[in-house]
Amino acid sequence: MKVNREKSAVDRPWKRKFLGFTFSWDKKNPRVKIANPSLERVKAKIKAITSRSRPIPIEIRIKELNQYLTGWCGYYALTDTKSVFQELDKWTRRRLRMCVWKQWKQPKTRIRKLMSFGVPKQKAYEWGNSRKKYWRIASSPILDRTLDNQYWSSLGLRSLMDRYNQLRNRT
């Protein structure tokens, strides 16, 4: 049987995706990776759940995220791309910080909430009255420190990295 190399791509599997997976281009040490369209879909779903225009409590958002990301992580845990899970974890928390900042709305509320997290009054006043938009503030050092991983864990958000490591160690 004669194989048409242009159509089959047998010699370049990194250009093909199968069930959401692809391979690295390293021929000596190939690794299983998540295909780019799959990453775009998961980001779109996270964006939909953490949309600023959805007026739902943060607990419900976290419940929906946990439900979706637990299943997604279970499916893609056999990949060798730990950094993708780390980046998604960070990005998801930033999206949630953006939602919380929007829920606080008024500068007075923002200042009060920041001070309740232990931010000094002057810093709370500076950041609470900031003109920066939601996405920019979500990565600010002040929100990053106050709404840290421990805060999200206390609200019930499960870490993608913890789930990934748990699934990888089991196999």
Q: Is position 155 within any domain?
A: yes
Q: Is position 1 within any domain?
A: no
Domain around 89 = 36-170
Q: Is position 163 within any domain?
A: yes
Q: Is position 135 within any domain?
A: yes
pLDDT tens string, the chain, 171 residues long: the values are 776 766 665 555 555 666 777 876 666 777 788 888 899 999 999 999 999 998 899 999 999 999 999 999 999 888 888 889 999 999 999 999 999 999 999 999 999 999 999 999 999 999 999 999 999 999 999 999 999 999 999 999 999 999 988 888 864
Q: Is position 5 within any domain?
A: no
Q: Is position 22 within any domain?
A: no
Which pTM was predicted? 0.85
What is the distance between the alpha carbons of residues 133 and 149, in angstroms, rounded to a whole number?
Answer: 22
Q: Is position 9 within any domain?
A: no
Does residue 66 contact residue 93 with C-beta atoms inside 8 Å?
A: no
Q: Is position 99 within any domain?
A: yes
